[in-house]
Amino acid sequence: MSVRTRADLAALPGYVPGRTVPGAVKLASNEVSLGPLPSVVAAIAEAAGQVNRYPDSGATAVVAELAARLGVRESQVSVGCGSVTLCQQLVQATCGESDVVVFPWRSFEAYPIITQVVGAQQVRVPLTAGHELDVEAIVAAVTPRTRLVFVCTPNNPTGTALTAEQLDRVVSAVPSDVLVVIDEAYREFVDDPAIPDGVEYAKASWAHGRDNVAVLRTFSKAYGLAGLRVGYLVASEEVTEVVRKVFVPFGVNAVAQAAAVASLRAQDELLERCREIVAERTRVREALLGMGFDVPPSQANFVWLPLGERTAEFNEHCMAHKVVVRAFAGDGARVTIGTAAENDQFLAAAADFPS
């Protein structure tokens, strides 16, 4: 007799990570090409000598460092095994099987997966023709069954971001008992002053009685710790308290915690690297536009090529040129901004793609 499992999971697609191909330039996973700073590597090495002990399950040192830097109470910060785990905890904490999660699409591909895994319902809101989050459509999608709205800004995989006015439209229109989660995995790469800092926006919302605004960030991108999995949530105490009730104990290991604290203390140096990536992003986009590609403005560490039905062809073309990009069949290709040399190799491949 076969073990009985959930029938609805049979049709659930698995999360597809960016490919790694030996000998090829990997621009598929939005990683930072340069590794952690020397001070962070030293902290990792020191922590590695103590892994016979369980980690601090509450990640208190990371929480304290974040709270001090962000100007919030420690009780308003929760740390998890990457921001994707916190996404799942938020759905678990707010939704039952009849409740609905609203999110833009195409967006972070984990949203539909974690929503179905938890057992909640989902509504995908198509992007605009300009590859941006459709604010009015998101607002229209909210019903009495909605419990959570994910707003990915800058959006993955298109790189477009919401202005403060657009965020205001969502937050002001959504009922106060619906949680609006600003997913800011790429915040450190934003250079447009019209795009608000999500934590500062949330703090202002709380001050005006809107406690239903939360923010997600990660150490995987700008901080170069993708392999260690550390993310964090900034929210009202009511939200962080219930999120902690559904977490997996010891989910953030001791090495990851030490690396996160060391990274925060080297923040100025790390953010300088982000500025270099932003400059490369501008160079790559301008080069692609000059080749005739449609590339929406990006506020992340990647660019989006909405190639539609030619996506698979472009993906194979890049592979033939030893460049791995992230293809979303029928939609487009997301290309991480790497080092100048890596970007040049990609641009050479793109220039050779038949129009």
pLDDT digits (tens, 9 = 90+) for 290-320: 999 999 999 999 999 999 999 999 999 999 9
In a domain, 104, yes or no: yes
73 and 151 assigned to the same domain: yes
Q: Which residues pair with 101 in a beta bridge?
A: 122, 148
Q: Which residues pair with 233 in a beta bridge?
A: 78, 216
Nearest to 185 by CA among 208, 164, 159, 167: 159
Assess whether pLDDT exceeds 80 at residue 157.
Answer: yes
- Quickly count: other Cβ atoms within 10 Å of residue 269's Cβ: 13
* Final residue in a domain of this structure, among 235, 265, 295: 265
Instruction: Please give the average per-residue pLDDT across 57-67, as a whole number.
Output: 97
> What confidence category does residue 2 fall into, taking pLDDT thresholds of 50, 70 and 90?
confident
128 and 239 assigned to the same domain: yes
Q: Rounded to an integer, what distance in angstroms lies between the CA atom of residue 312 and that of residue 331? A: 9
pLDDT of residue 18: 62
Task: For Cα atoms 246, 247, 250, give the angle at the middle one, nearest 5 degrees.
Answer: 150
pLDDT of residue 155: 98
Q: Rounded to an integer, what distance in angstroms lies between the CA atom of residue 47 and that of residue 54? A: 12
* Final residue in a domain of this structure, among 233, 265, 297: 265
Q: How many angstroms separate the Cα of 68 from the Cα of each of 60, 73, 75, 77, 307?
A: 12, 8, 12, 11, 44
In a domain, 7, yes or no: no
Greatest C-alpha distance within the chain: 61
Assess whether pLDDT exceeds 80 at residue 184.
Answer: yes
Percent of the chain with pLDDT over 70: 96
259 and 297 assigned to the same domain: no
pLDDT of residue 17: 62
- Residue in the structure block whose two tokens are 């992007």: 127
208 and 114 assigned to the same domain: yes
* Final residue in a domain of this structure, among 209, 231, 265: 265
Q: Rounded to an integer, what distance in angstroms lies between the CA atom of residue 118 and that of residue 148? A: 13
**In one letter, which amino acid is 136?**
E
Q: Rounded to an integer, what distance in angstroms lies between the CA atom of residue 144 and that of residue 74? A: 32
> What confidence category does residue 20 fall into, taking pLDDT thresholds of 50, 70 and 90?
low
- Provide the whole-model pTM: 0.94
Assess whether pLDDT exceeds 70 at residue 1.
Answer: no
| Domain with 86 in it | 38-265
In a domain, 8, yes or no: no
Domain count across the chain: 2
**In one letter, which amino acid is 2?**
S
pLDDT digits (tens, 9 = 90+) for 102-123: 999 999 999 999 999 999 999 9
198 and 318 assigned to the same domain: no
Instruction: Please give the average per-residue pLDDT across 172-183, as a whole number.
Output: 97
321 and 248 assigned to the same domain: no
In a domain, 3, yes or no: no
pLDDT of residue 9: 72
In a domain, 234, yes or no: yes
> What confidence category does residue 23 fall into, taking pLDDT thresholds of 50, 70 and 90?
confident
